[in-house]
Each structure stands twice: as structure tokens, then as C-alpha cells.
Chains A and B, each alone.
Chain A
């Protein structure tokens, strides 16, 4: 019997145009059975009916996952479904514009923090490239 949870703190969001062929190749290799074919805002809202809140973020790992999303997608979903969604920015320190994107996500789009995926980008938390990211996040106002 399915119960409820208060918050799903790990929800990916993307639109159809963000999906690359690599995604389908990888999913067919590592997981059997059905994976929800869509992860757009409307789909997520319906899928999150058994939680009160959901923390969402987009994937921008076209090279490793096959999803090239963006923070604008996350922000638009939060704006549309503000009763349910809280959005985090995507962070990939391999990008030269990483900090610019993070500033935009937090300061302009109003996202409330950052999601970091070392298993996708191969960057350890101790990597020197993380220092300016962590410095910014420690001082950022995210409310």
C-alpha cells in the first residue's frame, strides 16, 4: 500500500528537446523495465501527487547522461507550480561559465540552491574548481 512522503528531494526535470540519443542508449543498457518517458513540468506535477513538496533540478550532462537541460526550465516549472516545486540550479565546474550560470540561476531566476553530480561530471567536492562555487553558495541569499 502506497503511503505519502513529505518531500521528494531529488527530482529531475527536462523537456523533450533536451533529450539526446545518448540518453536512450544508456538507459537501455543499465535499466530494465519502464522509465517514465517524460520529465516535463506537467508530468512531474502529476507524478509528485503523493508528496507535498518536490525539489527539482535540470540535468545538463549531455556528454555523460544524454540530457542537456537548463535552469530556465527549472525556474519556469517552479513559477508554474509554486505550491509544489522548489528549484535548485545545476552546477558543473567543468564549464568555463559555471559561475556565470550559477549567478544567473540564483540571482536572476530565484533558484534556491545547487545540485551537484560528481558521478556525472567526475569532479570531486575537493577539486579546486569547486572553491569559487562553494564560496558563492555560502554567501548567496537563497530565500
Chain B
């Protein structure tokens, strides 16, 4: 799904969320940062560091409220 979002250039529509307590912040961040490990030894496309950084730094307050941030 992340590869598709890169290919369709919609990574800016993805925001970071854990669904805590069903997943923790640390494991969610680590999972994202290590997502390419499963592709080791293959020629499959990777999730870029740019995509990972964009997701981790995503700011819903600038987007979800259409410029009228609640904070």
C-alpha cells in the first residue's frame, strides 16, 4: 500500500496513527522505519526514506480542518 501511494504520489494523504492501545508508538515507528527489511534480497521497490519521514512528520492540524487548525 505504501509502494502504491508512492507510485500514485499521494503519500501526503497518509497520516501517522497507532490505534493505541492496540499498538504502541515505539513499535509503530519502528515498524515503519524497518518496513523494507522484509524485501532484503529482492528486487522489489522500497518505501523511500522520504515517504517514511513524511508520514512520521505528518501534521493533521494543517490539513484536516481546512486551514482552521484546532491547536
Q: Which residues of A contact B (CB under 8 A)?
A: 1-12, 31, 35-39, 43-44, 47-51, 53, 55, 86, 112-113, 142-143
**A43 contacts which chain B residues (CB < 8 A)?**
21
8 more CB-based (< 8 A) A-B contacts, given A2-B26, A6-B58, A112-B65: A9-B15, A9-B60, A11-B18, A44-B20, A47-B24, A49-B25, A142-B70, A143-B70
Give the interface size class of chain B.
20 to 34
Taken together as a complex, chains A and B put the C-alpha atoms of A10 and B17 apart, in Å, by: 5
Is A36 within 8 A of B56, CB to CB? Answer: no
Is A12 within 8 A of B22, CB to CB? Answer: yes
**A143 contacts which chain B residues (CB < 8 A)?**
65, 68-70
- Mask of B1-30 contacts with A, CB within 8 angstroms, 1/0: 000000000000001111111101110111
